[in-house]
Amino acid sequence: VTLSGYVSGSFNCVAVGARTISNQNYAVSPVLSGDSLRIVLTWGANPVDLDAHFTGPTTSTARFHVYYASDATNGVKLDLQDGTSYGPETITVSQFLPGVYRYSVHDYTNATVTTSSVLSNLSGAQVRVFQGGTQIATFNAPTGRVGNLWTVFEMDGATRAITPKNQISNIASSNVVPYPRDDDAGEPALVETERYFWLPPKK
Ligand SMILES: [Ca+2]
C-alpha cells in the first residue's frame, strides 16, 4: 500500500472463491513531522469495541492517561476512537519526558466478562508503531489467553527504546481495569487507590 504523504506498508489479502473474508482492511498512516510517534490499532469484526490506553510520565509525580474519555494531554492525543469494529484507533505522541510510557489495548465490549478469549483468539488485533516515516514495530495480540486487557509495549521516554510486553490479563470486577504500574521502572509507586481507573460509559 503506497500513498503520497503516507507511510508505505504491505499486508496479505486472503481470497477464497464465493466467500467474504473479514479483516482485510489496511490503515495507512500519514508521514509524521519530526520524531513524533504514532500508534495504530486495528482489529477484526469482533469484538465491536477495542480501546487504546496510553499512560506516561508528567512533570509531576502523577502519570497521565490518554484514552477515549481523556483524549489529549501531555503532548499525547487520541486522534481517532472507533467502536464499530476494525479500527483504526490512533494515538499520536509529540512530546516525550524521561520515564516509562505504556500502551495497552482494552476489550471494552467484554469489559464485564472475566472469561473472554475474544481479544486473544478472535480479534486479530494488531498494533503498529510509526516514527517519522518509518514503521518501527508491529505487535499482534497473543493467542490462547483469557483476558480483556492486552499490555502491548513500553517505551523509555529518554532513549525511545521499545520493550515488548504482550501480556494478557483480566479484570476482577466490572468496569475497572488495572492501572498500569511502574514498580519496575524506578518511578514513584502509585498509591493503591490509583491502581484502578473507572471506565466511564461511552457517549
Ligand atoms: Ca474503541
How high is the pLDDT of residue 113? 82
> Mean pLDDT, to the nearest integer, of 37-63?
92
Least confident of 31-35, 114-118, 129-133, 136-140: 31-35
How high is the pLDDT of residue 10? 61
**Ligand 1 centroid vs 17 CA: distance in angstroms?**
32
**Ligand 1 centroid vs 44 CA: distance in angstroms?**
12
More confident residue, 195 or 118: 118
> Mean pLDDT, to the nearest integer, of 119-127?
98
Highest mean pLDDT among 128-137, 138-147, 187-196: 138-147
> Mean pLDDT, to the nearest integer, of 136-156?
94
**Ligand 1 centroid vs 54 CA: distance in angstroms?**
13
Tell me which residue has cell 514498580.
Answer: 183
**Ligand 1 centroid vs 89 CA: distance in angstroms?**
7
**Ligand 1 centroid vs 203 CA: distance in angstroms?**
11
Q: What is the pTM of this model?
A: 0.79
Whether the per-residue pLDDT at 170 is higher than 80: the answer is no
Using a pLDDT cut of 90, give the percent of the chain over it: 48
Whether the per-residue pLDDT at 140 is higher than 60: the answer is yes
